[in-house]
Amino acid sequence: MFGNVLVTGGAGFIGSQLIKKILPISKHIYVIDDLSTGLRESIPDSEKITFIKESINNKKIIDEIMPKVEYIFHLACSNILKSVSDIELDLNTNLIGGFNLLQSAYKNCRMLKRFIYASTASVYGAATILPTKEEYYKIELPYAASKFSAEHYCSVYYTMYKLPISILRLSNVYGPGQTTLNPYCGVVAKFFEAINLKEPIIIYGNGNQTRDFTYIEDALSAFILAAINEKAIGQVYNVGTGIETSIISLANEIKLISNHSENLVKFRQKRPIDVVNRRNIDSSRIQEDLNWKINYTLSEGLKETFLWLKEEREK
C-alpha cells in the first residue's frame, strides 16, 4: 500500500511501533533518528529498513533521502521535559528540524503522497475549554511553542506549496514499546516500572490532575488513516479518547492490574512542566472525517501493556 517511507524519530516509542505496523505494507522504510533518547534495538531488523543515525538537522542527509520517499511520518522530537532544561535544543529540534524536513520535502520530494506531523495536545496548555477542540490553543511551555510553531510551517507549506500535509495532535500515548530505558518516557511506563521494582509510585502534585490517555494501537491507526485518506490533507486532528483519568486513579488501576495493591504512592512537588490540571480532547473531527475509532478502553490498554512488559522481562 505504501511505497518508500521516511520515519523520523523511528527509534522512539511511537515511531518504532509505527514502523512495525507499516513494515508489511511498505516497500522500504528509511529511519532517521539521532538516538538521543531512542533505542536502535526498538527498530526491527529487516532488509526493508535502512536506519540512519543522524539528526533531522543534517540537511545533507535529509536532502539525499527525500527524493526516494512518498510518505513521511515526522515523529522526531526533543521531549517536553527536556524543553524546560534546554530550550534551545527544543527549538532546534522541534521547529528548525521540522522546518528542514518541510523545506527538503518541497525541494526534493517529487512523489510525495503525505507528510504526517506528530504534534501534541500540549498546544492546549491548561485549556479553559474542555473537551478541547482543534481551534483552541494556549502556549505555555517551550515544547508547546516549538511544536505549535512547526504546525504553522506545515500550514505554510500546505497553503503556499500544496504539500500534502496532515497534523495529528496526540494525547498521552501509552502501551507496548514505551520503555523506561528512555528516562523521559510517559507516566504509564514509569508506574509499571515502580511496581515491578517494588518502589513507590511517584506522583507530582496531588494526583487529581487528569490526562486523556490514548492506547498506542489507536494512535497508530490514526497515522495510517491520515496517510491513506485524501480528506486528511491540510487538516489538523486531535487524537484522544475524550475521557479524563486522574493520575491517582491511573496509579490505582495499574496497581490492580499488576496485583500489587500494597504498592506505596509518594507525592512530590509539581515540576515546571506540570501546568495542566485537566486534559480532555475532542476527537470528533478525525472520527467523522476518517472514521477513526477508539478500540481500547484504558483498562484494556493497560492490561495489554502489562502483558507486554511481562513478556519483555521473561525474554
Ligand X SMILES: NC(=O)c1ccc[n+]([C@@H]2O[C@H](COP(=O)([O-])OP(=O)(O)OC[C@H]3O[C@@H](n4cnc5c(N)ncnc54)[C@H](O)[C@@H]3O)[C@@H](O)[C@H]2O)c1
Residues 55-94 that bind ligand X (CB under 6 A): 55-57, 75-79, 93
Q: Is residue 150 at the binding interface for ligand X, with CB under 6 A as the rule? A: no
Q: Is residue 9 at the binding interface for ligand X, with CB under 6 A as the rule? A: yes
Q: Is residue 179 at the binding interface for ligand X, with CB under 6 A as the rule? A: no
Identify which of residues 38 and 125 has a Cβ nearer to ligand X in the complex: 38
Return d(Cα 6, Cα 214) in angstroms, integer: 24
Identify which of residues 263 and 279 has a Cβ nearer to ligand X in the complex: 279
Identify which of residues 26 and 214 has a Cβ nearer to ligand X in the complex: 214
Q: Contact 166/226 with Cβ under 8 angstroms?
A: yes
Q: Is residue 12 at the binding interface for ligand X, with CB under 6 A as the rule? A: yes
Q: Is residue 32 at the binding interface for ligand X, with CB under 6 A as the rule? A: yes
Q: Which residues contact 78 (CB under 8 A, 6 or more apart)?
A: 36, 86, 89, 90, 92, 93, 94, 143, 146
CB of 291 to ligand X, least distance (A): 22
Q: Which of 66, 69, 127, 170 binds ligand X (CB under 6 A)?
A: 170
Q: Is residue 132 at the binding interface for ligand X, with CB under 6 A as the rule? A: no
Quick one: residue 230, left, alpha or beta (phi over 0 = left, psi -120 to 50 = alpha)? Answer: alpha
Q: Which of 6, 173, 236, 247 binds ligand X (CB under 6 A)?
A: 173
Question: What DSSP string runs through 22-50?
Answer: HGGG-SEEEEEE--SS--GGGSPP-TTEE
Q: Is residue 309 at the binding interface for ligand X, with CB under 6 A as the rule? A: no
Q: Which stretch binds ligand X (CB under 6 A): 4-12, 108-116, 155-163, 197-205?
A: 4-12
Through-space distance between the first and last CA atoms of the chain, rounded to whole angstroms = 33
Q: Look at residue 109 and give its three-state secondary structure.
A: coil
Q: Which stretch binds ligand X (CB under 6 A): 53-61, 100-108, 125-133, 293-301?
A: 53-61
Q: Which of 2, 15, 144, 203 binds ligand X (CB under 6 A)?
A: 15
Q: Which residues contact 48 (CB under 8 A, 6 or more apart)?
A: 23, 26, 27, 28, 29
Tell me, what amino acid is at 122?
S
Identify which of residues 76 and 294 has a Cβ nearer to ligand X in the complex: 76
Q: Look at residue 279 and give its three-state secondary structure.
A: coil
Q: Contact 99/59 with Cβ under 8 angstroms?
A: no
Under rule CB under 6 A, how many of the chain's residues touch ligand X? 32
Q: Contact 89/80 with Cβ under 8 angstroms?
A: no
Binding residues for ligand X, rule: CB under 6 A, are: 8-9, 11-15, 32-38, 55-57, 75-79, 93, 97, 118, 120, 147, 170, 172-173, 182, 186
